[in-house]
Structure 1
Amino acid sequence: MEYRKLGETDLAVSAITFGAWAAGGWMWGGTERQGAIEAIRASYDLGVTSIDTAPIYGQGTSEEIVGEAIKGISRDKVQILTKYGMRWDSTQGDFGFKSQDNDGNPIDVYKYAGKESIMKECEDSLRRLGTDYIDLYQIHWPDKTTPIEETMEAVLRLIEQGKVRQAGVSNYNVEQMKRAESVLSLASNQVPFSMINRGIEDELVPYCIAHKKSILAYSPMERGLLTGKIKPGHQFAPGDHRAGYRFFKEANIAKTDTLLNALKPLADSKQATLSQLVIRWTIERPGITVALVGARNAEQAIQNAKAIDVKLSADEIAFINAQFESVVFE
């Protein structure tokens, strides 16, 4: 495994980090708890020491699974990345959307990052994770009802108390990052990025490179689409959010399938899967520090971790880039 420092901090994380959204089941058609625990442990055995989770993932379920999975592992051997600022148990802040919990009960999700709320969320996360500190604490989404400065001052207090090591943000634009940095030093920004979803390369990536901030790329597999396993006509399980996600429109699935067919001979030549090729390409992109990759079972987790063994030459990267630069998605 390769390990990379986040920004200018002393916090090193695995270049392939376990993304625990799907492990929590929420919006993914439920979870198989034991399978998720085994996936995290299998990843760790192959050097994936960093795990990214959030309270909203399964309304606490994902964090509980992470906490159970790391029991027995020396705390300084794993890096826990979690978030705050999405509440399903409160109506404060900016209404986000209606959803359902894993049992099918309706919930309303609010984006809220007021000081007292953050303090409560941190204590709840520490309890579920079974730890006394969080390595990277990230606001999940911007909250337009709370000044960014208030939010970051709360995180600064948590750092001073030793409950948080480093501060990060997620889904922030450049201006929001600048406001946050007026209060404390950010280690990173977690944002969506994949071969077919590269909007951050216009402004955010150049800013982060210039200011030495790390980028944690989430959904690098575009929620499973870039595995090559999802073909036109695919039927999703009830509760799976991907059924309504734009890249899973029939036309976009077909375009992605064509792209992946062009890349498959390269993957085959390296005795790698398409997923492994995509993961390796992602962490080779300028400005990208980490690829967050999820797994529902140990087999998937092992395949993801082994992507680190794939080596790409400059010519091969150029070939991959050329395949999708002309593709336009609806």
Structure 2
Amino acid sequence: MAKTNAGRFFEDYAVGDVLTHAVPRTVSGGERALYHALYPARHALFSSDEFARSCGLPASPLDDLVTFHVVFGKTVPDVSLNAVANLGYAEGRWLHPVYPGDTLVSQSEVIGLKQNSNGKTGVVYVRTTGRNQHGTPVMDYCRWVMVRKKDPAAPAPDTVVPTLKPVLDPADLVIPEGLDFTGYDFAQAGEPHRWGDYEVGETIDHVDGVTVEEAEHMMATRLWQNTAKVHFDLTQRPEGRLIYGGHVISMARALSFNGLANAQMIVGLNAGAHANPCLAGDTIRAWSEVLDKAETAAPGVGAIRLRLVATKGGAPFDLRGEDGRYKPEVLLDLDYWALMPI
């Protein structure tokens, strides 16, 4: 009897399958330190206990994307070990802050399947929920992944494509209990720009760039226990190791500090596309567009909907060609909600 796990292939999934992912992960200040070493992350709420307490939280939570990476990483052996590419995200919500000492687990449900016309691959849709040691959901999201078939002759499953919200309604967003920006210290946060200073349609060039190195990508992918073969095994993609898409997300989010230092907490993920592959040696730059704004019930807290685009070259604010496709230099197109002081 085989004791090793070669991962699931497309024909191994069925709509309704519930996948309980190994291994529980207790997070600590070590994750914060490594996250801030890997990315130029410096949002004040995730850097200072005192700043977080001044905003009504008991202490500084771990960066929202640390939660995402840990929850996501747990799913890889069961969902995307044999993936060709991670295609998109929808209906992502951060439901409860994660603090050092919390233990996170993940579970996914298969909500859709669609075999591709080549008969060699198919798209698997899953909804994943991460919970802490108390069973409290900390985040959930949907994603869809292109997965290889082990046997191209295996029969195609019935096509089920789930209906997902293109955008989360502001009422869907969960504001952390106690969050209060009425006494927000803009000088400590790093920029004076508040919710009312941003206009829908405004674009922001985040100016800086960071070149992705093999070493940091390998460290990051191992940190999140992401075992997808394309990130480690050069025989999978001889042109180079594919950089984990979450690495690009975190790098772009960190770069967006310059111009969006007060977009403190990510609370919703509306949509996301890894438009083109990122390889070691690429220099990531980022720009944002303000898509929408909404008030919340929390004192002094507004929600701002942002498009975050990461590129490896080209002019800022240049997203698609005349054919409607993403330009080859575009790496990431992410649509998210964040919380900002009014």
TM-score clears 0.5: no
Which of the two has greater helix per residue? 1
TM-score, normalising length from structure 2?
A: 0.25
TM-score, normalising length from structure 1?
A: 0.26
Which of the two has greater strand per residue? 2
